[in-house]
Amino acid sequence: MKFVRASATFMSFASLLSIGFGQLSRISLFGQQRNVYVFEAIVIINLITLVCLYGLKPFKQLTNRSLLPLIFVSYLGLTLIVTFVRFSPFQNLVAFLYLIRLSVYILDFYYLSFHFTIKGQGEMLRSAGIPLFSGFLALTSVIQYFWFSDLSGWFSQGWDLHYKRIFGVFLDPPMTAAIVILAIIYIVHHLTTCKTPYILNISMKVLAIFLFGILLLTFSRGAYLAFLFIAVIYFLKAKKWLILIGFISVFAVGIYLIPKPSGEGVNLMRTFSIYARLANYEDGFDMWRNNMFLGVGYNHIRYAKSVQTVSPSKTEFVYDHAGASFHSSFLTILASAGIAGLALFVGVLLYFASLNSFGWYAVIALSVMSLFDNVILYPFVLVLFIIMLTLTLQSARQSSLR
The pLDDT tens digits of the residues spanning 68-85 come to: 999 999 999 999 999 998
Q: Within 10 Å of residue 314's Cβ, how many Cβ atoms?
A: 10
Q: Are the CB atoms for 130 and 200 separated by under 8 Å? A: no
**Domain extent for 13:** 2-392
Determine the Cα–Cα distance for residues 200 and 205; give it in Å rounded to an integer: 9
- Model confidence pLDDT, tens digit, residues 218-270: 999 999 999 999 999 999 999 999 999 999 999 999 999 998 877 666 778 78
In a domain? residue 13? yes
Is the pLDDT score of 202 beyond 70? yes
In percent, the amount of the chain with pLDDT more than 70 equals 89
**269 vs 97: CA distance, rounded Å:** 40
Measure the CA–CA gap between 150 and 266, rounded to whole angstroms: 12
**Structural contact between residues 133 and 186, judged by C-beta atoms closer than 8 angstroms:** no
Identify the pLDDT of residue 357. 94
* Residue 72: per-residue pLDDT: 97
The answer to the question of residue 123 being in a domain is yes
**Residue-averaged pLDDT of the chain:** 87
Please check whether residue 236 lies inside any domain of the structure: yes
Choose among 134, 277, 260: nearest CA to 209.
134
What secondary structure letter does DSSP report for 45?
H
Mean pLDDT for 199-210 is 94
Q: Is residue 112 part of a domain?
A: yes
Confidence check: pLDDT of 185 > 90? yes
Q: What is the CA radius of gyration of the chain?
A: 21
Residue 309 confidence class, pLDDT cut points 50, 70, 90: low
Confidence of residue 163 (pLDDT cuts 50, 70, 90): confident
Phi then psi for residue 30, to 5 deg, are 55, 50
Mean pLDDT of 159-168: 81
Domains held by the chain: number: 1
Q: Is residue 398 part of a domain?
A: no
Residue 399 lies in a domain: no
Residue 97 has pLDDT above 80, yes or no: yes
Whole-model pTM? Answer: 0.90
pLDDT at 157: 64
Residue 402 has pLDDT above 70, yes or no: no
Task: Give the residue among 288, 371, 375 at the shortest CA–CA distance from 336.
Answer: 288
In this predicted model, which residue has the larger pLDDT, 305 or 343?
343
Main-chain phi, psi angles of 318, to 5 degrees: -85, -40
79, part of any domain: yes
- What pLDDT is recorded for position 392? 92
Asked if residue 154 has pLDDT above 70, the reply is no
pLDDT of 396 over the 60 cut:
no
Most confident of 174-188, 300-314, 317-331: 174-188
pLDDT at 46 over 70: yes
Q: What is the number of other CB atoms lying within 10 angstroms of the CB of residue 75?
A: 19
Residue 320's pLDDT is 54
Q: Which long-range contacts (CB under 8 A, 24 or more apart) does 207-214 make?
A: 207/131, 207/134, 207/135, 207/138, 208/183, 208/184, 210/138, 211/134, 211/137, 211/138, 211/180, 211/183, 211/184, 211/187, 212/184, 212/254, 213/254, 214/137, 214/138, 214/141, 214/142, 214/166, 214/176, 214/180
Q: What is the pLDDT of residue 375?
A: 95
